[in-house]
Amino acid sequence: MFRLKPSEYPTSEATAEENVPKNRCPNVVAGDIHRPHLNPRPDYESDYVNAVYVDGHRKQNTFFVTQMPLPDTRVDLWRLVEDYECIAIVMLNELQPEDESAPNYWPVDDDSMSIGPFTINKTSCDENDGIITTDLDVTSHVTTESPLKVKHIRVVDWPNTQALPTNSETLLRVFQNLMKWRKQNDDKPILVHCWCGEMRCGMFCCLANVWEKMNEEHEVDVFNVVRQIRMNRPEFLVDEDQYKFMYQFAKDFLESESTYANFQ
């Protein structure tokens, strides 16, 4: 597996004294080179959030990868969404209501909630085959912009106890839905998070890029996709089983496309 030397991934901002409490997992932090900077605003002057950007198959900074926010960093997640006009949030970890370090950052049981200067309104919610999609309107008391339309997508059939996705079909549907949503919104970025912002997010971004390349160019290039993504966060993919799953995903997709074509 391709590895980075520590000197190639400096983390001076993430390890600064004032930012250490913002990192859920001490060993998974934002590198100085690949981290997005938040816009300062009244009461929120820090520009740090534990997130990194990841390029898509064709477009730079297609994804912003972050952790499940802590109680005091929920506002930073919404700052990130607003500052970079993210049109969707993909959640890859399960809800853990008993864990006080992981309160909800969007209205799950209610129709609306406020976090810092943001009001998040739920306009619809749909559950279908392992995916819960919630449409949100996000407004800020500080800015005068019209509400942001954000889709919140929870992948619920990937239990926290499993290192690998339950199946590839669920993720394939997520990729297809996201592609449609991006085309309708000028290819604006997607925010992706898991518990620490590491392996699940790395799997998701790699599979999305592998799928898009196969879809457009009919080529499979897992190795270079993984190599490029791990430049932004070395912890993204560290397991041989993840690598094998991606090749199996590519094989399943190509076989399904071939089967479909035979019936045309």
156 within some domain: yes
- The average pLDDT across 188-210 equals 96
Averaged pLDDT of the chain: 90
In a domain? residue 254 = no
Domain assignment present for 215:
no
- Residue 92, in any domain of the structure: yes
Residue 53 included in any domain: yes
Reduce the secondary structure of 251-263 to three states and give it as a string.
HHHHHHHHHHHHC
**CATH number of domain containing 177:** 3.90.190.10
Choose the weakest-confidence range: 28-32, 47-51, 56-60, 192-196: 56-60
Q: Of 88-102, 131-145, 245-259, which range is least confident?
A: 245-259
For residues 166 and 180, the model is more confident at: 180
- On the question of pLDDT at 39 being above 80, the answer is yes
Residue 252: CB atoms within 10 Å: 14
For residues 130 and 155, is the Cβ–Cβ distance under 8 A? yes
Q: Answer yes or no: is pLDDT of 57 > 80.
A: yes
Residue 142 is predicted with a pLDDT of 83
- The residue segments making up the domain with residue 168 are 6-198
The reported pLDDT for the residue numbered 258 is 56
Q: Residue 144 — very low, low, confident or very high, per pLDDT cuts 50/70/90?
A: low
Determine what percent of the chain is predicted with pLDDT higher than 90: 68
Q: How many domains does the chain divide into?
A: 1
**261 within some domain:** no
Residue 8: the pLDDT is: 66
In this prediction, residue 95 has a pLDDT band, given cuts at 50, 70 and 90, of very high
- Looking at residue 182, what is its pLDDT? 94
CA-wise closest residue to 52 among 201, 202, 232? 232
70 within some domain: yes
Does residue 258 form part of some domain?
A: no
From 133, 136, 220, select the one nearest 177 (Cα to Cα): 133
Unique residue bearing structure tokens 């919104």: 185
